[in-house]
Amino acid sequence: MARLFVATSALCAHALAPTPSRARPRRATVAMTATVAPPSLEVGAQNLDWPNIGFEYRPTRSFVHYRYRNGEWDGGALEPAGLDATVPVSIGATALHYGQSLFEGLKAFACKDGSVRLFRPTANAARMARGAARTLMEAPDEALFVEACARVVRENLDYVPPYGSGGALYVRPLLYGAGPRIGLQPSDAYDFLVLATPVGDYYKGGLGKPVKACVVEEYDRAAPRGVGSVKLAGNYAPDLKPNTEAKQSGYPIGLYLDAGSRTYVEEFSTSNFVGICGETGKYVTPQSDAILPSITNDSLMKLAERSGMTTERRPVAFDEIASGKFSEVAACGTAVVLTPVGSIARGGSEYELQHNTEPGPTCLDLYTRLTDIQRGDAPDEDGWTHVVVPPS
């Protein structure tokens, strides 16, 4: 049974299969093979304070920039990155006027055997393609997407946090409409950028102490049959205000409910909801057309099933939290990986989870198993990792 407290503040799946964009772009085939980095670059050679870099933008050496013009993608170019790095954008670009823009997020990890690996880049390529189809954009195909991500890692290898530091190189692909339109219509030109930055934990402490969450009462994240299930750039700006207000009230993350009835859990501000039923050993995550399908969540579910747990993707009533059905709750996503939640506030009440001071055993086990695969410390039985730099 969840314990009920008076809160200090009243604030508070889709499959990952690829969906083709509306036209198949013409371009040369890119071979998805491991390529050795230039000999002058070594993992971690920047000698940053790796355990304390946090999760924020830090300029690296370069980013890659591809352009879609006249029905085909070019070969891409390396451009200098930095705090003042810019790209030319038409004042009439559909990205600026109509929000025709998508992004992805994935990580590259330095492994004990000397290799550097991207985690599930083909799944990110598929998700971007599905978002592009929804917004009538021309997405890079899987080969181009993966090679672009690998290329930016190779060219910034000295910014990859070394094995054992707990960090990773965060890779951010961005696709946007570059052509000018004054009326509402798709662009005829697109730019695809991939930048990278070294990161530590998104929430300070990582899988340390569970964080406090609150239900976002005054706002909805996404409308039914809207675009909540795609990684549209415009989905995130509306969360700035409620997310800031939640943090000011002492809650690092906000939890959104369904826009229709406000009785079902959807997702946290930037990550999926996971609930663990301690007595039955179930892994439960919400099912809704308004939720972004998380690649991390999909990975954790597969690992849970492999360990003998029952997994359920279904509507999750908030009453299940209030009644204490879940012994553990966590937020999961590429940036956070898995962050335990110790309590969830709604209205004037705060519902405390059984494991509210330390990570629960199931979350800790799944986190360890996933990160072991990402860093090459456990066998990659599903072929999730893509080798950018081979073992030394």
With a CB cutoff of 8 Å and minimum separation 6, the contacts of 232 are: 99, 101, 102, 131, 134, 135
Residue in 284, 360, 281, 293 with CA at minimum distance from that of residue 321: 284
193 and 223 together in one domain: no
Q: How confident is the model at residue 208 (pLDDT cuts 50, 70, 90)?
A: confident
In a domain, 382, yes or no: no
In a domain, 39, yes or no: no
Q: Kindly report the CA angle at 10 between 243 and 214, in degrees rounded to 5?
A: 45
Q: What is the pLDDT of residue 205?
A: 52
155 and 221 together in one domain: no
In a domain, 42, yes or no: no
Q: What is the pLDDT of residue 18?
A: 44
CATH (domain of 313): 3.20.10.10
Question: 3-class SS at 254?
Answer: strand
249 and 327 together in one domain: yes
199, 230, 254: which is the final residue of a domain? 199
Residue 36 pLDDT greater than 70, yes or no: no
DSSP string, 42-96: -TTTT---GGG--SS----SEEEEEEEETTEE---EEEE-STT------TTBHHH
292 and 340 together in one domain: yes
In a domain, 186, yes or no: yes
58 and 9 together in one domain: no
In a domain, 152, yes or no: yes
Tens of pLDDT along 179-207?
999 999 999 999 999 999 999 876 555 57
217 and 361 together in one domain: yes
Q: What is the pLDDT of residue 178?
A: 98
> Which residue do the tokens 């290799």 mark?
115
CATH (domain of 59): 3.30.470.10
| Mean pLDDT to the nearest integer, 234-244 | 96
Domain count, the chain: 2
Tens of pLDDT along 265-286?
999 999 999 999 987 789 999 9
For the chain, what is the largest distance between any 2 Cα atoms, rounded to a whole number of angstroms?
61
In a domain, 384, yes or no: no
The CA–CA distances, whole Å, from 226 to 104, 235, 292 equal 19, 10, 11
106 and 182 together in one domain: yes
Is 81 within 8 Å of 60 (Cβ atoms)? yes
77 and 93 together in one domain: yes
199, 215, 243: which is the final residue of a domain? 199
103 and 191 together in one domain: yes
214 and 190 together in one domain: no
In a domain, 381, yes or no: no
- Supply φ then ψ for residue 309, to 5 degrees: -75, 150
Tens of pLDDT along 68-117?
999 999 999 999 998 899 999 999 999 999 999 999 999 999 999 999 99
In a domain, 383, yes or no: no
Burial of 300 (0-12, 13-18, 19+ CB in 10 A): buried
56 and 169 together in one domain: yes
366 and 225 together in one domain: yes
CA–CA distance, 122 with 125 (Å, rounded to integer)? 5
Is 154 within 8 Å of 145 (Cβ atoms)? no
| Model pTM above 0.85 | yes
HSE-up of residue 169 (Cα within 13 Å, Cβ side) = 35
Residue range(s) defining the domain that contains residue 186: 50-199
171, 199, 227: which is the final residue of a domain? 199
The CA–CA distances, whole Å, from 286 to 160, 223, 273 equal 34, 16, 7
